[in-house]
Structure 1
Amino acid sequence: MLVLGIFIFWFSVRDVSFSELIGDIKRLQWGWLLVAFLSMFFSLFFEAAVVKALLHKETMTLRWRDALRIPFIEQLFNGITPFSSGGQPAQLFAMLQSGADAGRATSVLLMKFVVYQSMIVVNFIFALTTGFHYVADKMQVLSLLFVLGFVVHLCVIVALLMVMYWYNFTKKTVKFFFKPFKKFSKTDRYEKLEVKIDEKIDNFYEESLRLKKDGRLLLKISCLTLVQLFFYYVIPYFILLGLGISGVNFWMIVTMHILIVMVISLFPIPGGSGGAEYSFSTIFSSFITNSSKLILAMILWRIITYYFGMFLGMVALVVKPQKMKKG
């Protein structure tokens, strides 16, 4: 992924004046860039706070250093796997290293996933209502991707809610749509897969009942997740300030970043590489008219939001955690 990133950066700057790019780097306001890095760190910090709160509910006390280790490792494995599919197993691995029970750790990740997906959809609805008209007028191709991204995430939430509130109906529906696969697979393999899917639906339903019973905890982790996402979404604003670009609308920048993140989730390449850089450059070209500053902003954004987390994950992966205390 590092090699691919370097190639994309080189491809992006090939038509930009090197001397102009160096001049823009020299004129960077490093204080604002430090704020951007801190925003990314605080985003991960509040994600760790969600994990710590959920584990505390399970009468397990996790040290802050080891709690931070979990989202750091998640960032690494999200960044090197298609559709960020490696983040969940990596978090489970990190929690097991800290001494968490496998069943309880899985329940924590399920609850965390439900709340995170819900807050993603809430933020995206906000972005659609406030900034979609701007994108639809100027970038029709990307606007279609935004809508597709919203539909995908909405379908995930609807499926989760169906399991939570229409358990029997959901199981019957899944089995109905799953039956055609029986023709293309061996009977024993099909039966094993059917049992595995039933177990996952049952586990999720049981954990959803526990989550619904504790409204205070649900509200707490929802607020923490919103704060986590806010710190992540404001990063481009501080990058623009670091480039000396002022007078931009704060909420418009945040809205555009929400839309970009939604598009990135659709690209199967790890980290959305290629699509992420293209989306950022296309959307923020209206705010940054200078081509070298636009490319520099894109590179800084990828370093902060993607590579920074991956390097933190590399460090966290080799740090040995302490076993958590159980009450």
Structure 2
Amino acid sequence: MPFIKLKKLLLYEKRKRQFLFSLLHDNMIFAQHNRRNFLDRSVVSAVSALVYTAKMRYDIDCLPQSSFAEQPEQQIMNTRLIHYQSSPKCGERLERTMSRLKRIIKKNLFTILTLAICMVILLIFLFHGTSVQQLSNIFQNLNVGWMLVAVATLALTWLMEGFSNMLLCRHFYPKWTYGRAFMVGMTGIFYSAITPFSTGGQPMQIYYMTKMGMSAGRSAAVISVKTITYQITMLAFSLILLGNEFSFFMSNVSHLMFITIFGVVSNILFILAVVLVSLNAKFINRMLHAVLNGLAKIHIVKEPEKKYQKIITQLDSFNEGFKTMGHNWKLYISVCLITVLQIIINNSVTYCIYRAFHLKGATLWIIIAAQVFSNMVSAFVPLPGGSGGAEVSFSAFCHIFFGNLLTPALLVWRLLTYYGCILVGCISVSIGSRKYVGTPPPENYNISDKPDKSEAA
């Protein structure tokens, strides 16, 4: 290549990299001023890594062009590399990058391990007696139309989750927007999917709602009402469906009676626990004293009495909000009806997958009944996302319909209803936290309600 062409090419690449470095640097500064949670910090770290790479190449390009005169292209690149490696800043930059990477891994270690465990369990079920070639042939023949319907059905479930949250939030804030409610709903879905027993969803919803301007007491009241309503509706709906098809499942599902008792008892205990926390103040006071004093003895909690008073203040606010919502039966009925519709639509995903595999014969309602009861049982498996339990319960109830296609159907169902929720939930939380966190709702809460103590403070 003639030297003049090489020089022009190097100049063009230099200007392009200068522009890239400037753009990435601006994005990094913006992200650092607007990050809200660990998801945003991960984004900032990723942008920082890109800036580091661009800056490295930019520093190399700052070498005098005279040092490259009439040199072969390979020798030019070697000269640049030697110059950069000999720079005293090279080791410092590399050390900072590795330190940043270690911090990212340490902060997100639980999430990474959770997803790894869930993926390993899914792969064990997937490749047990099924080859990759067989799966490839099956997936090539999937009905694309029905798969799109399955995705649309799942998306509609997420939208309805936001709508039911909006109804409850508007009891206190009549102008609480749908965007805020949708972000709260996806927060619950995301954190429930990555925590054992799905216990992380409700606390994180309350956390983000307080960051949006709603008091902790009212946030807890909204989420508690939503949780109790969902669990009661889910239990009643599953028992009705199972009762209608009991003879069918009794003849096709092994140990049905044991599974039924386990699912019903687990749900009843969960509902009673939430109600007890909501209504029995004396029990909560005794439990808080015992727990905080025990933690203080092993030097985990300092000033237990101060912590106790702070928690009691929030619980009083919660009880006030819960009692206020307890008289609004019209609101309860509306949320219950939406929940029933949401359960039907959400569990219709399995029927869409059934039709995507070109299968016919089973009715929509019988597949919904199987999936509803399967979800109710697997919800109390201690692993995140009910991993292991979800696969076993799906296999127990749905092998009747899928037969030899059970394994690929399980893969598609799990990818959509679990990993799809994690992906969309992660994106929703990241975007919603930047848009809504720190931005209070309109100051027009329902004037018929007294302000919470936390708000008065």
Which TM-score band applies after superposition, normalised by the shorter structure?
0.7 to 0.9
Percent identity between the aligned chains? 24
Deviation of 1:100 (Å): 2.4
CA contact (8 A) 2:146 2:353 kept: yes
Relative to structure 1, the CA distance from residue 179 to residue 144 in structure 2 (aligned partners, 3 Å threshold; closer, same or farther) is farther
Deviation of 1:300 (Å): 0.9
Deviation of 1:200 (Å): 8.0
Does residue 1:252 correspond to 2:363, yes or no?
Answer: no
Deviations 1:236-284 (A, max 9, x none): 0111011111121211101100111111112100111112112212221
Does residue 1:299 correspond to 2:408, yes or no?
Answer: no
Larger Rg: 2
Write the distance in 1 (CA, Å) between the matches of 2:172 and 2:412: 39
Residue in structure 1 matched with residue 242 of structure 2 by the alignment: 128
Deviation of 1:105 (Å): 1.7
Of the three residues 326, 332, 342, the one matched with 1:212 is 326
Deviation of 1:180 (Å): 10
Relative to structure 1, the CA distance from residue 186 to residue 274 in structure 2 (aligned partners, 3 Å threshold; closer, same or farther) is same
Match runs of 1:158-307 below 5 Å = 158=272, 205-290=319-404, 293-307=405-419
Of the three residues 59, 63, 72, the one matched with 2:186 is 72
Match runs of 1:110-125 below 5 Å = 110-125=224-239
Deviation of 1:176 (Å): 9.4
Relative to structure 1, the CA distance from residue 147 to residue 296 in structure 2 (aligned partners, 3 Å threshold; closer, same or farther) is same
Write the distance in 1 (CA, Å) between the matches of 2:227 and 2:415: 25
Q: How big is the alpha-carbon RMSD for the aligned residues of Structure 1 and Structure 2?
A: 3.2
Deviation of 1:116 (Å): 1.4
Give the AA of the match of 1:2.
L
Write the distance in 2 (CA, Å) between the matches of 1:194 and 1:132: 49
Write the distance in 2 (CA, Å) between the matches of 1:71 and 1:41: 12
CA contact (8 A) 2:252 2:400 kept: no
Does residue 1:82 correspond to 2:196, yes or no?
Answer: yes
Deviation of 1:172 (Å): 6.4
CA contact (8 A) 1:40 1:231 kept: yes
Where structure 2 has 5 or more consecutive residues not aligned to the other structure, the ranges are 1-113, 445-457
So what's the TM-score if we normalise by structure 2? 0.62
Where structure 1 has 5 or more consecutive residues not aligned to the other structure, the ranges are none
Deviation of 1:186 (Å): 7.7
SS at match of 1:61: coil
Residue in structure 2 matched with residue 312 of structure 1 by the alignment: 424
Deviation of 1:78 (Å): 0.6
Residue in structure 2 matched with residue 53 of structure 1 by the alignment: 167
Deviations 1:64-93 (A, max 9, x none): 333222222222211111100000111122
Residue in structure 2 matched with residue 2 of structure 1 by the alignment: 115
Residue in structure 2 matched with residue 41 of structure 1 by the alignment: 155
CA contact (8 A) 2:218 2:317 kept: no
Write the distance in 2 (CA, Å) between the matches of 1:139 and 1:178: 44
Higher RCO, 1 vs 2 (CA within 8 Å, ≥6 residues apart): 1
CA contact (8 A) 1:131 1:256 kept: no
Deviation of 1:299 (Å): 0.8
Relative to structure 1, the CA distance from residue 301 to residue 172 in structure 2 (aligned partners, 3 Å threshold; closer, same or farther) is same
Write the distance in 2 (CA, Å) between the matches of 1:141 and 1:196: 48
Does residue 1:325 correspond to 2:442, yes or no?
Answer: yes
Relative to structure 1, the CA distance from residue 101 to residue 270 in structure 2 (aligned partners, 3 Å threshold; closer, same or farther) is same
Deviations 1:182-216 (A, max 9, x none): 9x888999x96998997787666534432232222
